[in-house]
Copies of this chain bind each other. A is one copy, B any other.
Amino acid sequence: MHNPSEQNFIQQLSIDCVIFGYHQKQLQVLVNKLNFNGNFWALPGGFVFQNEDIDKAANRILQERTGISEIYLDQFYVFGNATRNNLNFIDELIALNPHMSIDEKSNKVEYEWFTRRFISIGYYALVDIRKVVPQKTDLDESIHWINIKDLPSMIIDHNDIVLKALESLRVNVDEKRLAFNLLSETFTMKEAQELYEAIFDKPFARNNFQKKILDLDILDRLEKKFTGAANKAPFLYRLKK
């Protein structure tokens, strides 16, 4: 990866992605720990090339991080407060990483590129967590799926971005039937219900949930799934094409 300041990016504009997965009955968010001393966590993000649609840029960033294309994506908000810059973060980072101070401060161009105020376009993505192999960049020490309820404090306003993304997801999940992007291709009704419960953080009545979802007429009922459990075998379902 080259220095961003040397590339043909639009200046002061970034894209931040809230990548939602679903595992162990909980919503998970893909976040990376930056490759510096100190606990710096951030959402996967990137910049927009001069000749690139912003939707394409978001897709590219997601593909880099998840390894999969054809991801469900929605632009949900622009974060543009004047105080949105990396100054605090970079200064704290340099304090904790004395070796950086020479590199970065001497590299004026790079330092100035990064510490200017950024306007960031928020996208959220919904992925089947089993298909994703998280990829870190050379800025990252590591990249993790973290339960949305256990997210660490992140740089700038990234925690707020996650909150706003969840809000938008909740608003859109019904009308756009997009929750099923988080499940594998086939699933039981109980799995779908638990997913909804994770998204809305509240319980649903089993029978009414089933009725509501089936009345949408968007699922095909497949064969039963024999689990070996001491109860009736549930049907598998798949999204209609």
Cα–Cα distance between A51 and B119 once the two chains are bound (Å): 12
Are B13's CB and A82's CB within 8 A? no
Are A13's CB and B119's CB within 8 A? yes
Are B48's CB and A121's CB within 8 A? no
Among B12, B54, B56, B77, the residue within 8 A (CB) of A75 is B77
A53-88 interface (Cβ within 8 A of B) = 53-56, 75, 77-78, 80-82
Are B78's CB and A53's CB within 8 A? no
Q: A153 near B: Cβ within 8 Å?
A: no
Are A53's CB and B80's CB within 8 A? yes
A110-127 interface (Cβ within 8 A of B) = 117, 119, 121
Are B12's CB and A121's CB within 8 A? no
> Given A10-B12, A12-B13, A13-B13: A121 and B82 within 8 A (CB)?
no
Q: Which residues of B contact A56 (CB under 8 A)?
A: 82
Q: A220 near B: Cβ within 8 Å?
A: no
Q: A50 near B: Cβ within 8 Å?
A: yes
Q: Report the minimum CB–CB distance from A53 to chain B (whole Å).
A: 5
Closest to A171 in B: B171
Among B77, B82, B121, the residue within 8 A (CB) of A80 is B121
Count the copies.
2
Q: List 26 A-B contacts (CB under 8 A).
A: A10-B11, A10-B12, A10-B117, A10-B119, A11-B11, A11-B12, A12-B13, A13-B13, A13-B119, A48-B80, A48-B119, A50-B82, A50-B117, A51-B82, A52-B82, A53-B80, A53-B81, A53-B82, A54-B80, A54-B81, A55-B80, A56-B82, A75-B77, A75-B78, A78-B78, A80-B121
Closest to A81 in B: B53
Among B11, B53, B78, the residue within 8 A (CB) of A121 is B78
Q: Which residues of B contact A55 (CB under 8 A)?
A: 80
Closest to A175 in B: B171
Among B10, B48, B119, the residue within 8 A (CB) of A54 is B119
Chain B proximity mask over A21-57: 1 for CB below 8 Å, otherwise 0 = 0000000000000000000000000001011111110
Closest to A83 in B: B53
Q: Report the minimum CB–CB distance from A11 to chain B (whole Å).
A: 6
Q: Report the minimum CB–CB distance from A12 to chain B (whole Å).
A: 5
Q: Report the minimum CB–CB distance from A39 to chain B (whole Å).
A: 28
Cα–Cα distance between A10 and B56 once the two chains are bound (Å): 22
